[in-house]
């Protein structure tokens, strides 16, 4: 995978304080013998999803007007106004845009990569880290419900997205994160403009 210099220098800053807290929590839980999982780094997830692609990372701050629109589209308050799309290019063609989201499930966090295709639909979801107990991790087939979906009324838990018995908080946190990312993507690409 080829990376531009800005991507290499900035990749470790992607999650800022949130990632640093996750790493500290991971070390603390590991030392205490608790189970928590880190499955992929950012670079690994991008390499798996976009083999051989050129990655270009951006850092964008939503204006207040854009933030209001994104919140309305997502059906929830956005968790921040800074977004870092990772755009994958092959032979001069955009093949997808990846976003990373760190959010709380119950008391601990998970990190997801959500990939959006050129038609503003979910192309992939990859779990990078999960600090809650492992029994609350959804099966792969549950994540497949999101693939090919765009941001509409049905792309919500208990509508077009099935829940998970015994892992309701994981299902809610994941579906909310996907909606936030799709909403931000639509605003950032101008598909939905204020």
Q: What is the pLDDT of residue 93?
A: 93
* pTM flag (> 0.95): no
Residue 113: both structure tokens together: 């990569």
**Can you tell me the mean pLDDT for 128-150?**
92
* Domain membership of residue 182 as a residue range: 2-189
Strands 54-57 and 2-3: parallel
pLDDT band at 19 (very low <50, low <70, confident <90, very high): low
Query: What per-residue string of b and e applies to 151-182 under the rule 16 or more CB within 10 Å gives b?
Result: beeebbbeeebeebeebeebbbbbbbbbbbbb
Q: Is residue 71 part of a domain?
A: yes
Residue 109 domain flag: yes
User: What average pLDDT is seen over the chain?
Assistant: 84
pLDDT at 21: 52
pLDDT digits (tens, 9 = 90+) for 87-123: 999 999 999 999 999 999 999 999 999 999 999 999 9
Residue 167 pLDDT: 86
Q: Report the domain count for the chain.
A: 1
Non-local (6+) Cβ contacts of 39 within 8 A are 126, 127, 128, 129, 130
pLDDT digits (tens, 9 = 90+) for 27-73: 444 444 445 688 999 999 999 999 999 999 999 999 999 999 999 99
For residue 145, being part of any structural domain is answered with yes
Structural domain includes residue 194: no
- Mean pLDDT lowest for which of 56-60, 119-123, 157-161, 179-183? 157-161
Rounded-to-integer distance, Cα 84 and Cα 14, Å: 7
Return the closest-CA partner of residue 106 out of 62, 60, 137, 139. 137
């Amino acid at each position: 995978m080829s990376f531009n210099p800005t991507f290499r220098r900035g990749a470790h800053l992607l999650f800022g304080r949130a990632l640093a807290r996750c790493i500290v929590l991971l070390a603390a839980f590991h030392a205490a013998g608790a189970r928590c999982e880190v499955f992929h780094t950012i670079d690994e997830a991008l390499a798996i999803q976009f083999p051989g692609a050129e990655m270009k990372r951006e850092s964008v701050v939503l204006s207040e007007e854009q933030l209001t629109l994104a919140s309305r589209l997502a059906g929830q308050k956005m968790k921040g106004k800074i977004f870092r799309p990772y755009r994958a290019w092959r032979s001069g063609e955009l093949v997808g845009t990846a976003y990373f989201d760190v959010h709380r499930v119950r008391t601990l966090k998970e990190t997801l990569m959500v990939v959006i295709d050129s038609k503003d639909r979910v192309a992939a979801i990859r779990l990078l880290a999960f600090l809650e107990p492992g029994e609350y991790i959804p099966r792969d087939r549950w994540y497949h419900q999101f693939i090919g979906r765009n941001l509409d009324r049905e792309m919500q838990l208990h509508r077009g997205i099935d829940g998970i018995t015994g892992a309701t908080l994981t299902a809610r946190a994941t579906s909310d994160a996907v909606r936030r990312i799709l909403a931000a993507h639509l605003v950032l690409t101008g598909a939905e403009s204020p």
